A = this chain, B = another copy of it.
Amino acid sequence: MDKKFLIDMLNKVKTDEIDIDTAAEKLSSISYEDIGYAKVDHHRSLRNGYPEVIYCEGKTKEQIAGIMEKLLEKNSNILGTRLDQQSYEYLKERFKDLEYHSMSRVMTLKVKEIEIKGKGEIAVVTAGTSDMYVAEEAAITAEFLGNKVIRIYDAGVAGIHRLLSKQDELRRCRVVIAVAGMEGALPSVLGGLVEVPVIAVPTSVGYGANFGGLSALLTMLNSCASGLSVVNIDNGFGAGYLASTINRL
């Protein structure tokens, strides 16, 4: 509950500017409004310059448009994840500046400049080229949240020297996002090379006994490298968001 508002209200009670019943009513409702979901989110957005985020999967294109219009009233940048091509085309007609990144299925709408808030760089590394759709979701998210991003793609552990040749770049970063499908061994190797937090993102890339990303997920959870944690399969957004949160510390 906002102390300033509370004291203000009590002062008004004392000076008879407001009667007790009205004050009681306001105080009991405001206690929730003040910490209600939407409000907290707005605060977060306003305070940090964070864009609003829409998870588009399972929403109709009309619903997405409706949410966007409401957000634009607050002059907020908008990031949308998991948007299909067809919905994008519908939205494009309504929001002229809308950009679409088809590989990662991310849309971005900028109404103001993105301010750099991250204190250092974030590396996004993939094991293979087919993991790029997840990596780009992470990278675009991190950039949209105000970070500089270094992309190192197709640097899987079966050709370990390719990764080693990038050590300098990697050690310069404050956070590393490691994206890998199939056997998912990349984060373990990275965890041994750098001393900063490594966010491991398993992807569903592969076939057979990868069971939709389960193999990479288990690999990452069982990594014997320290300083490593894991997000959900294909959750590039989550990794980008978390990296941004760390990079602002």
Among listed A69-77, A92-100, A108-116, A238-246, interface-contacting one: A238-246
Question: Quick one: which of A13, A155, A183, A221 has the most chain B CB within 10 A?
Answer: A183
Contacts of A13 in B (CB 8 A): 10, 13-14
The reply to whether B183 and A160 form a contact with Cβ atoms under 8 Å apart is no
Question: Quick one: which of A128, A216, A219 has the most chain B CB within 10 A?
Answer: A219
* A142 CB-CB contact with B under 8 Å: no
Closest to A130 in B: B58
Q: Enumerate A217-240 residues with CB–CB distance to B below 8 Å.
A: 217-235, 237-239
| Binary B-proximity of A101-120 (CB < 8 A = 1, otherwise 0) | 00000000000000000011
Q: A172 CB to closest chain B CB, in angstroms?
A: 13
DSSP majority for the A interface?
Answer: helix
Closest to A25 in B: B3
* A169 CB-CB contact with B under 8 Å: no
* A151 CB-CB contact with B under 8 Å: no
Question: Quick one: which of A53, A157, A239 has the most chain B CB within 10 A?
Answer: A157
The reply to whether A164 and B32 form a contact with Cβ atoms under 8 Å apart is yes
Known contacts A1-B28, A28-B1, A183-B222: does B196 contact A204 (CB below 8 Å)? no
Q: In the bound complex, how far is the Cα of B238 from the Cα of A248, in angstroms? A: 22
Q: In the bound complex, how far is the Cα of B227 from the Cα of A238, in angstroms? A: 7
Q: How large is the interface on A (under 10, 10 to 19, 20 to 34, 35 or more residues)?
A: 35 or more
Contacts of A120 in B (CB 8 A): 249
Contacts of A220 in B (CB 8 A): 183
Other-chain contact of A188, B37, B157, B226 (Cβ < 8 Å): B157
The reply to whether A231 and B232 form a contact with Cβ atoms under 8 Å apart is no
19 other A-B residue contacts (CB within 8 Å) besides A59-B130, A215-B222: A1-B28, A1-B31, A6-B27, A7-B24, A32-B161, A36-B162, A36-B165, A37-B161, A57-B130, A158-B224, A174-B249, A184-B185, A202-B208, A206-B222, A209-B214, A210-B232, A215-B215, A228-B231, A229-B229
- 21 A-B contacts, Cβ less than 8 Å apart? A14-B14, A14-B16, A32-B161, A41-B159, A157-B157, A157-B185, A157-B189, A160-B160, A174-B249, A183-B219, A183-B224, A196-B249, A207-B232, A207-B235, A208-B232, A209-B222, A215-B215, A218-B219, A221-B233, A228-B238, A229-B231
